[in-house]
Amino acid sequence: MTHGTHGTTDLMGALFVFMLASFIGLMAIQRVSRLLHTPLMSLTNAISAIAVVGAIIVASGAHQPWWVTALGLAAIFCSTTNIVSGFLITDRMLKMFKKREGGK
Amino acid sequence: MNLESLVQLLYLAGTALFIMSLRWMSDPETARKGVLSGVAAMALAVAGTLAGVLATGGTHYLWILGAFVLGAAVGYPLAQVPLTAVPQRTALSHAFGGMAAGLVGTGKFFLYYGQRDAAALTPFIMVALVAEVLLGFLTLTGSLLAAGKLQEVKWIPQRPVTYPFQNVINLGLFSLALALGAALVLHPLAPWAPAAFGGVLVLSLAFGVLLILPIGGADMPTVISILNSYAGLSAVAMGFVLDNKLLITAGALDGSSGLILSIIMCKAMNRSFTNVLFGAFGQTQAQGAGAAAQAYKEDTVESAAQIMAQADLVVIVPGYGMAVAQAQHKVRELYDLLKKRGVNVKFAIHPVAGRMPGHMNVLLAEAEIPYDDLLEMDDINGDMPQADVALIIGANDVVNPAARTDKTSPIYGMPIIDADRARTVYAIKRSKNPGFAGIDNGLYFLDKTFMLFGDAKAVVGELGRHLSGEGH
């Protein structure tokens, strides 16, 4: 929302967050069973639609050329498509994974 | 508490929920909780962002609402596609993800440029902007092309497209984009900067196409994973541009997921990233080691059914051919009939079977085959010598013994499912042509192998009919 305040501290903080989040991601995902790799990919697809945050910020800006707003709106459209279809299809797939009845 | 802190707290909670979401995906028992947690995280993120822009004088709310509604209206049917079309859908949504990042980056650059905002366009922000646009737009066109190949759109070539100096041209264009990007980083407010930015944009779009043109179907699982990773990294770059830690975290989670999946896929094919991207698989090896002259040995479905009925252990090896023929429900019927006769039935799933990671598992789960019977390659190979029958349904390269024995084969060294170690092999195959990678398969010419030619769905259905009718 604000800009022009990117000091070195912000930059370093952002890099730290990136590094830590990458390691958390690598470790969490290494544990995912191969069985679930397709749902995993559609889930992370929906998660990467977090770009919607940036899209809203760009689309909502006042005092800017109309076409910048239009780019933001188009980006909101793309991200929302991914959010809705990504989460829905992941859940639809996961519902199908069933264990053998009676455990064994 | 001021509003900015509230927004950040919402983002913080969202970040935690995203991490839990992935954590819960590790087990089929908790996976659906993971989806719920992801939805909650996304809701917090959107709510926080809207609250933030609302307080700082944002506008265009009706338009934004409209974009949300339109996105949901397109997204909903995209979630209802048949599961055989999931690889295309996934590629398409990578394209949407890349496009969103590219558009936001473009908007931000021209906004700052128009405002002559030198304080905003620091070298670091410019690096992030160029990365965002480059990754975003190459993901857009690359994924669209991949989706087109997967959907088998008529005017898109299925086989790898190669031409002389392909890699030189690709690398040249990429270097040009990087050079323009570097110039932008150094002089973001130069009069030529918008033109250079446009150049980066166009080159990224072109590079996405050129990168995917030489990729064949067998490499799709790897390429989809790499594109997944790019879409995540472009969100990370956006996070750096907007100084938004939630974007950085969620993007990094997506990026690392794509990275791990790509590594797993590459290992499963015994190839490196560079080899997948620049190797143009399946072009050079038209001639196998003299195997081409051999004749297939066919058998009737009837006798195949008889052999299977008398087996103790039948291992089914599914491949892309099962997906194409939508044969999973017929496979389930066969599975039930064999089980009823006391035959032990297992599925051997190769990591790169199909067109995306985990493709076979989802199709078989759709047919309600319990996931306890879906075994990974490493878990089933030890049991293969005890299997009375290996039934290959539309799989080819993942059971090709040349990977173990023939040093001249392009797939030499790739881990395979040892179907050739079963006592008898039945292979259902669409046609007598070699598989997607264009490599002859010695498995089909072994003494113990019998071919059942035809559409996988029809042949498996036929097998089921013989098994159910044989009891009298």
Which residues in chain B have Cβ-Cβ distances shorter than 8 Å to A12? none
Number of H helices, E strands in chain B: 17, 6
d(CA B281, CA B409): 12
The structure's pTM equals 0.90
Residue with tokens 């990294």: B233
Mean pLDDT per 10-residue run, chain B (472 residues)? 88 96 93 96 96 88 95 96 92 96 96 89 93 96 94 83 83 93 95 96 95 85 92 95 94 95 90 72 43 72 92 95 92 95 95 90 94 93 94 91 86 91 92 63 89 93 87 44
Instruction: Name which of A48, A53, A97 is nearest B254 (Cβ-Cβ).
Output: A48
**Chain B residue whose CA is closest to A88:** B79
Return the pLDDT at B205.
96
**Beta carbons of A1 and B349 less than 8 Å apart:** no
| Contact assessment for residue B51 and residue A58, using Cβ atoms and an 8 Å cutoff | no
Asked whether the predicted pLDDT for residue A99 surpasses 90, the reply is no
Return the pLDDT at B471.
47
**Beta carbons of B358 and A41 less than 8 Å apart:** yes
**Chain B residue whose CA is closest to A93:** B362
d(CA A63, CA B59): 9
**Beta carbons of B362 and A39 less than 8 Å apart:** yes
**Chain B residue whose CA is closest to A34:** B358
Q: Which tens digit of pLDDT belongs to each residue from B71-112?
A: 999 999 999 999 889 999 999 999 999 999 999 999 999 999
Question: E strands of B330-423, at which residues?
Answer: 344-349, 374-376, 389-393
- Token reading at B374: 């879906």
The one-character DSSP state at A99 is P
CB-based contact, B52 to chain A, within 8 Å: yes
Return the pLDDT at B334.
95
Instruction: Name which of A36, A52, A86 is nearest B25 (Cβ-Cβ).
Output: A36
Return the pLDDT at B287.
40
| A51 Cα to chain B: minimum distance (Å) | 6
Question: E strands of B22-162, at which residues?
Answer: none
Burial state string for B291-324 with b = 16 or more CB within 10 A and e = fewer than 16: beeeeeeeeebeebbebbbebebbbbbbbbbbbb
d(CA B196, CA B203): 10
Return the pLDDT at B470.
54
DSSP string, B191-226: TTHHHHHHHHHHHHHHHHHHHHTT--GGGHHHHHHH
Return the pLDDT at B285.
42
d(CA B110, CA B53): 20
**Beta carbons of B243 and A14 less than 8 Å apart:** yes
Q: Which tens digit of pLDDT belongs to each residue from A31-65?
A: 898 899 999 999 999 999 999 999 999 999 988 99
CB-based contact, B222 to chain A, within 8 Å: no
Return the pLDDT at B1.
66
CB-based contact, B453 to chain A, within 8 Å: no
**Beta carbons of B42 and A81 less than 8 Å apart:** no
* Residues near B132 by beta carbon (within 8 Å), at least 6 away in sequence: B101, B102, B104, B105, B234, B237, B238, B241
Q: Which tens digit of pLDDT belongs to each residue from B395-442?
A: 988 999 989 988 888 788 899 999 999 999 999 988 776 555 556 788
